[in-house]
């Protein structure tokens, strides 16, 4: 059975078409990522699925319930971790959890026991009775996750769970989410604009761009469907020959993309292409700082399916 | 039932959170006293304001109590804006939290805060020579008036918070609505001293309903029918504004 089904969701805010026909489904117990730059429509999708807002058209089902017809039933079964932390800063970690439990009609000893268990689970037992204002970004985020889990939901929504965290806290969060997914048999819908995060945490990924899902599959499938390898040629800084270099590489590989002073090309075989590219650049007198070749990443997948570079798209969406 | 339970826990949350802000606690206690002492001194030589009989501070005290309750309610939407910004509201809405409970928790919190301030003002007032001529019932009326006045305007303020969602717009609106309502009431001057055309507005000004009830209980201690009538109007206003704020969740949820 599918834990989440979205069918042709459309939603428009004044002059922005936030969702332009989003459809996907997530199997029970699966970790699924919506991957896309800022402004792609990921958070709007999550807000529709968590009953926070309604789509202009289209239908959605979460944990077997229609989000439009029975929002209250959906709310009983989902945990929602908002993009920006939903922690009450002036309450302690424990108080945050107790109130959320009470909203879910929990009470008394079972509630207190559950709260202790969750504090332990996310490693906040020692900080439980401190006011959350003093928590680090990573601690607030882990408290958010615990808040989302207090009523033992079957579906957990994590909207950008590691945005704004430093790399160390992000790594901790990843381990945490992986463990929860395994131990609790949760269905997880995660949104992220970090390619590596989707690659690491999700069993299946849907790439979202401008309100649509452009491609969907396991990270491996997506990468495998891209033939060949990616070659990046970094030019010596400010030698002013970027356009020439782009033209030369394009003549060899056919598809190039420029980012800063790096020319990126997709080639059938990196080992064969590199000497040719370097030779041509050398003939033209263009100095090269570094050359790397790599298997396709989700970055390449994004570029391939949207025709746009992930990083610059992300910047534009801010 | 579920709504009442949730309201209770959310009120506890708010009072607890506020009590953790020492500056807020100090301001809550000190500010009304400053109003009472300051205005009491400023206008004490103008007998026409109070209609003459009795000390001006006795006339003024119920007015300041109501002014304080009214402004407290008017600003309570700021708490809602903070909760919206911190996504606490989103978290509640994605859980089975009652929208009415979210609103009522702000409304009741504003009312309780106003009652605490009322107690402080009455104590300071007693020291300055105020006597509550309505006796125990008079005291009760003053507290109820303060609670209802703060609550009624808290509902209005929280509705604005959900529509505007920005502190700047909230502050501008609260000032634009609040100051005229204050000066179109009998907070500082007796009804007879107000020009005729303003009197017509004063009668339908909810702020004034509270002032009439509280002042009647303090100065006269009779005419309980009028007191009950005015409190009833305030209760209706509180219900209306709370429902208005609950309805404003639609506007908020359309925007996200």
Q: Is A49 on the interface with B (CB under 8 A)?
A: no
Distance of residue B95 Cα from the nearest chain A Cα, in angstroms: 5
Residue A299 has what pLDDT? 76
pLDDT-based confidence at residue A306 (cuts at 50, 70, 90)? confident
Secondary structure (DSSP) of B19-35: HT-HHHHHHHHHHHHHH
Spatial separation of the C-alpha atoms in residues B224 and B230, rounded to whole Å = 10
Over range A17-29, report the average pLDDT: 94
The residue among B243 and A219 whose pLDDT is bigger is: B243
pLDDT per position as a tens digit, A64-82: 999 999 999 999 999 999 8
Q: Which residues of A touch B92 (CB under 8 A)?
A: 103
Q: Is B249 on the interface with A (CB under 8 A)?
A: no
In the predicted structure, residue B179 carries a pLDDT above the cut 60: yes
Over range B217-229, report the average pLDDT: 92
A104–B88 CB contact, under 8 Å: no
Q: Which residues contact A47 (CB under 8 A, 6 or more apart)?
A: A53, B256
Q: Which residues of A touch B88 (CB under 8 A)?
A: 86-88
In the predicted structure, residue B235 carries a pLDDT above the cut 90: yes
pLDDT per position as a tens digit, B12-49: 999 999 999 989 889 988 988 888 888 888 877 777 77
- Let me know if A290 is exposed, middle or buried by CB neighbors in 10 A (0-12, 13-18, 19+): exposed
Q: Is B24 on the interface with A (CB under 8 A)?
A: no
A85–B20 CB contact, under 8 Å: no
Spatial separation of the C-alpha atoms in residues A171 and B182, rounded to whole Å = 56
Distance of residue B92 Cα from the nearest chain A Cα, in angstroms: 8
Q: Is A280 on the interface with B (CB under 8 A)?
A: no
* Main-chain phi, psi angles of A289, to 5 degrees: -90, -40
A104–B16 CB contact, under 8 Å: no
Q: Is A75 on the interface with B (CB under 8 A)?
A: yes
Lowest mean pLDDT among A17-26, A57-66, A181-190, B69-78: A181-190
Q: Which residues of B touch A80 (CB under 8 A)?
A: 90-91, 94-95
Which of the residues B24, B96, B165 would you substitute to probe the A interface, choosing the one with the greatest number of A C-beta atoms within 10 Å?
B96
Which of the residues A46, A74, A78, A88 would you substitute to probe the B interface, choosing the one with the greatest number of B C-beta atoms within 10 Å?
A88
Residue B52 has what pLDDT? 63
A72–B88 CB contact, under 8 Å: no
Spatial separation of the C-alpha atoms in residues A42 and A191, rounded to whole Å = 6
Q: Which residues of B touch A86 (CB under 8 A)?
A: 86-88, 90-91
Distance of residue B93 Cα from the nearest chain A Cα, in angstroms: 6
Q: Which residues of B touch A147 (CB under 8 A)?
A: 91
With contact defined as beta carbons under 8 Å apart, do A104 and A147 qualify? no
The encoded tokens of residue A258 equal: 């420029």
In the predicted structure, residue A318 carries a pLDDT above the cut 60: no
Cβ-nearest to B93 among A52, A90, A131: A52
Distance of residue A192 Cα from the nearest chain B Cα, in angstroms: 18
A100–B17 CB contact, under 8 Å: no
B90–A13 CB contact, under 8 Å: no
Tell me, what DSSP letter sits at residue A207?
A: E
Q: Is A88 on the interface with B (CB under 8 A)?
A: yes
Q: How much of chain A, in percent, has pLDDT values that exceed 70?
A: 96
Nearest CA in chain B to A147: B91
Quick count: other Cβ atoms within 10 Å of Cβ A268? 10
B9–A102 CB contact, under 8 Å: yes
Residue A269 has what pLDDT? 81
The encoded tokens of residue A138 equal: 């990573």
Nearest CA in chain B to A75: B95
Count Cα neighbours of A306 within 13 Å in the Cβ-side half-sphere: 27
B92–A103 CB contact, under 8 Å: yes
Over range A83-95, report the average pLDDT: 93
Q: How much of chain B, in percent, has pLDDT values that exceed 90?
A: 76
Nearest CA in chain A to B10: A99
In the predicted structure, residue A226 carries a pLDDT above the cut 80: no
Nearest CA in chain B to A13: B255
In the predicted structure, residue A270 carries a pLDDT above the cut 90: no
Give the strands of the sheet with A57-62, arranged side by side.
A16-27, A2-13, A57-62, A65-66
Look over chain A and give the mean of its residue pLDDT values, rounded to a whole number.
Answer: 89
pLDDT per position as a tens digit, B98-156: 999 999 999 999 999 999 999 999 999 999 889 999 999 999 999 999 999 999 999 99
Over range A124-152, report the average pLDDT: 95
């Amino acid at each position: 059975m599918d834990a989440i089904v979205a069918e042709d969701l459309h939603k428009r805010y004044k002059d922005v078409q936030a969702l332009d026909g989003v459809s996907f489904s997530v199997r029970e117990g699966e970790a699924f990522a919506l991957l896309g730059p800022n402004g792609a429509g990921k958070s709007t999708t999550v807000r529709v699925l968590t009953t926070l807002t309604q789509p202009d058209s289209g239908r959605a089902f979460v944990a077997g319930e229609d989000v439009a017809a029975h929002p209250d039933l959906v709310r009983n079964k989902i945990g929602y971790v908002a993009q920006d932390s939903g922690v009450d800063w002036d309450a302690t970690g424990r108080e945050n959890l107790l109130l959320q439990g009470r909203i879910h009609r929990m009470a008394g000893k079972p509630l207190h026991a559950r709260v202790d268990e969750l504090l332990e689970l996310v490693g906040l037992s020692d900080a439980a009775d401190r006011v959350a204002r003093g928590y680090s970004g990573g601690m607030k985020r882990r408290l958010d996750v615990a808040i989302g889990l207090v009523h033992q939901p079957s579906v957990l929504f994590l909207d950008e769970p590691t945005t704004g965290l430093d790399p160390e806290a992000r790594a901790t969060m990843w381990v945490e989410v992986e463990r929860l997914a395994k131990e609790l048999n949760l269905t997880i819908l995660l949104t992220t604009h970090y390619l590596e995060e989707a690659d690491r945490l999700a069993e299946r990924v849907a790439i979202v761009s401008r309100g649509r899902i452009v491609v969907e599959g396991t990270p491996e499938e997506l990468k495998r469907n891209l033939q060949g390898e990616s070659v990046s040629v970094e030019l010596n800084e400010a030698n002013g020959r970027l356009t020439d270099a782009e033209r030369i590489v394009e003549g060899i590989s056919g598809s190039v993309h420029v980012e800063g002073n790096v020319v990126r090309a997709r080639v059938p075989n990196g080992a064969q292409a590199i000497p040719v590219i370097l030779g041509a650049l050398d003939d033209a007198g263009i100095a090269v700082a570094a050359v790397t070749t790599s298997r396709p990443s989700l970055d390449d997948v994004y570029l391939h399916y949207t025709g746009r570079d992930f990083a610059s798209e992300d910047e534009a969406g801010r | 039932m579920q709504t009442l339970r949730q309201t209770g826990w959310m009120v506890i949350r708010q009072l607890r959170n506020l009590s953790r802000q020492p500056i807020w606690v100090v301001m809550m206690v000190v500010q009304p006293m400053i109003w009472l002492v300051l205005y009491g001194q400023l206008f004490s030589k103008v007998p026409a304001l109070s209609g003459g009989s009795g000390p001006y501070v006795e006339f003024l005290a119920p007015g300041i109590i109501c002014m304080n309750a009214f402004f407290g309610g008017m600003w309570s939407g700021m708490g809602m804006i903070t909760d919206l910004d911190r996504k606490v509201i989103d978290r509640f809405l994605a859980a089975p939290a009652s929208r009415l409970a979210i609103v009522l928790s702000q409304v009741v919190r504003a009312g309780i805060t106003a009652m605490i301030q009322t107690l402080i003002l009455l104590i300071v007032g007693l020291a300055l020579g105020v006597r509550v001529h309505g006796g125990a019932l008079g005291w009760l009326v003053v507290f109820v008036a303060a609670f209802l006045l703060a609550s009624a305007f808290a509902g209005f303020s929280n509705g604005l918070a959900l529509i505007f969602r920005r502190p700047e717009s909230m502050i501008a609106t609260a000032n634009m609505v609040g100051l005229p309502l204050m000066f179109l009431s009998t907070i500082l001057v007796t009804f007879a001293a107000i020009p005729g055309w303003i009197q017509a507005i004063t009668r339908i000004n909810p702020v004034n309903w509270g002032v009439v009830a509280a002042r009647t209980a303090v100065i006269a201690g009779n005419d309980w029918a009028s007191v009950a009538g005015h409190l009833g109007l305030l209760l209706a206003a509180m219900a209306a504004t709370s429902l208005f704020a609950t309805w404003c969740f639609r506007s908020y949820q359309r925007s996200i």
